[in-house]
Amino acid sequence: MLRLAGARVLDERDLIDVRGAFEHDPVAACMVAARVEVAGLDPWRLGGEMWGSDSRPIRGRVDGLCFSGPNLIPLKGSATAMRMFADRARRRGRMCSSLVGPAEQVLTLWDELQPDWGPAREVRGDQPLMAISGTPKITPDPLVRQVRPSELNRYLPAAISMFIEEVGIDPCAEDGGAGYRARVSELIAAGRAFARFEHGEVVFKAEIGAMSSRVGQIQGVWVRPDRRGEGIGTAGTAAVADRLTRVLNRTASLYVNGYNHVAQAAYRKIGFEQVGQYATVLF
């Protein structure tokens, strides 16, 4: 059993407890659950480590849970558990591009890490987590469809524009865009990138990012600037949500910045309801 300041790396013997935590809040846990359902808890297959904190010195119920990979995602736990995770994260050094997840845990963990990892590039502390399980309240856009692998070059500029608008950095800055292109290509190949094309150009796009057995998380919603305000984004998002709920039999979820009142109103018009609160710390 690996331990460090009260936190330990979980393994397959903890899988039942971890799955139980996912079942408690499947929408909030979607990003991590999607990985664990495929890879289990082996760090090599998982692409990161799952950390747990226990209230007892023997293996038992996992009181705190945190995924450490490309993103640091604390899913559950008290302030004490977040302190344990922060200690482990400090000792490893920062290996993530962001902290993201339930706001209470993310902001508590960031309070612990900020003296060593700060300042952050941006802290988004108010991100409503929204979900819909039934039929959208508005008619899905029938012109929104899955992007074909042959359309990568037409889709990619829209994806890059979305990333710059949302994250504030150019995903092509470090490696000429090779890494981002590969990630977008994977989403297209998996049938999880959607767009409305007009005259060969993307006017709306969105993707299903993480997808667990119960929930699919919509990400990267974007409308070409000169077409905004026409309802394209609302009907397009409804089309992706409809595919998740009706075809894939999953809850559709997303999270949105609290200051983006226009987007929140559009999602509520579709039928999304707030089910939690997320926060993101960007490095």
Distances (CA, A) of 40 to 15, 69, 205: 7, 14, 31
Q: What is the pTM of this model?
A: 0.92
On the question of pLDDT at 54 being above 90, the answer is: no
Is the bond preceding 119 in cis, omega lying within 30 degrees of 0? yes
Render pLDDT for 193-242 as a digit per residue (tens, 0 to 9).
999 999 999 999 999 999 999 999 999 999 999 999 999 999 999 999 99
* Rounded-to-integer distance, Cα 204 and Cα 210, Å: 20
Amino acid 58: pLDDT = 53
Render pLDDT for 93-114 as a digit per residue (tens, 0 to 9).
999 999 999 999 999 999 999 9
